[in-house]
């Protein structure tokens, strides 16, 4: 029965998230101030409701990660004014995710695969974002490099687990963050809002679902 509650809450998370995607793309924009944090709140409830996670320590670390993600969401709703605060909140969230993923098991071989993936991604995308930060807002260079480092470490930790939900979730989260950085510091791109919000929410759900797989 409790598993049914967990999956019902995951379903509700996706419903609220889809509503948030709609208002992000179509409007009204003010509804996002309710729907975006509400999505994370329901996902936190699902994480707490999971009866037998593969690691209880990982579960509670993910709750912390989701809580800081929700805080980051609130800051980024006023993107230009509180961008640095949002970046800091998500920095802490990724530290919590790394701690959680470390308790899901890891192998050195898969960690090396993850490292290669993020090195390639950063050579293609991260390098351009940092160059854009240097030219547009030099005060943000250190925070952006630090954030890029921690989200890259989160991807490495996810790949190292060999857990498919963790890997997909982490890659989607990385893609969402890369979309934000590219749009802000390199060049605006079409459908940015849709790309960022959909990959972000699905990435968070994937990371939570990784708790359901035991190795």
Which residues, at least 6 apart from 199, have a Cβ–Cβ distance to it below 8 Å?
Answer: 172, 173, 175, 176, 179
Tell me: the pLDDT tens digits for 36-89? 999 999 999 999 999 989 999 999 999 999 999 999 999 998 867 899 999 999
Contacts of 52-58 with C-beta under 8 Å, sequence gap 24+, read 53/211, 53/212, 54/104, 54/210, 54/211, 54/212, 54/213, 54/214, 54/215, 55/100, 55/103, 55/104, 55/211, 57/100, 57/103, 58/100, 58/101, 58/103, 58/104, 58/211
Q: What is the C-alpha to C-alpha distance for residues 73 and 55, in angstroms, rounded to an integer?
A: 26
Q: Extract the tokens encoding 14.
A: 């996706």
Tell me the residue range of the domain where 97 lies: 2-212
Please report, to the nearest 10 degrees, the dihedral formed by the alpha carbons of residues 36, 42, 45, 51 taken in order. Answer: -130
CB neighbour list of residue 88: distance below 8 Å, 6 or more residues apart = 143
* H helix runs in 137-210, sequence order: 141-161, 164-185, 192-209
Distance CA 61, CA 102 (A): 10
Please name the residues in contact with 92: beta carbons below 8 A apart, sequence gap of 6 or more: 68
pTM of the model: 0.94
| Structural domain count of the chain | 1
Residues of the chain with pLDDT > 70, as a percent, come to: 98
CA–CA distance, 16 with 25 (Å, rounded to integer): 14
Query: What digits encode the pLDDT tens for the residues 184-206?
Result: 999 988 889 999 999 999 999 99
């Amino acid at each position: 029965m409790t598993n049914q509650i967990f999956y019902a809450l995951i379903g509700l998370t996706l419903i609220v998230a889809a509503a948030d995607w709609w208002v992000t793309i179509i409007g009204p924009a003010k509804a996002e101030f309710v729907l975006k944090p509400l999505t994370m709140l329901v996902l936190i409830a699902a994480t707490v409701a999971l009866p037998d996670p593969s690691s209880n320590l990982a579960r509670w670390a993910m709750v912390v990660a989701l809580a800081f993600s929700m805080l980051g969401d609130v800051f980024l709703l006023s993107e230009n004014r509180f961008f640095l605060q949002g970046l800091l909140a998500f920095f802490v969230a990724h530290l919590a995710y790394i701690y959680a993923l470390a308790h899901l098991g890891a192998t050195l071989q898969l960690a090396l695969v993850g490292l290669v993936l993020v090195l390639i991604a950063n050579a293609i995308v991260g390098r351009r974002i940092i160059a854009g930060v240097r030219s547009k807002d030099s005060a943000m260079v250190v925070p952006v490099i630090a954030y890029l480092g921690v989200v890259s470490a989160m991807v490495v930790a996810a790949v190292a687990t060999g857990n498919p939900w963790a890997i997909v979730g982490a890659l989607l989260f990385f893609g969402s963050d890369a979309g934000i950085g590219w749009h802000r510091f390199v060049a605006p791109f079409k459908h940015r809002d849709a790309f960022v919000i959909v990959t972000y929410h699905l990435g968070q759900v994937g990371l939570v679902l990784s708790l359901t797989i035991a190795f």
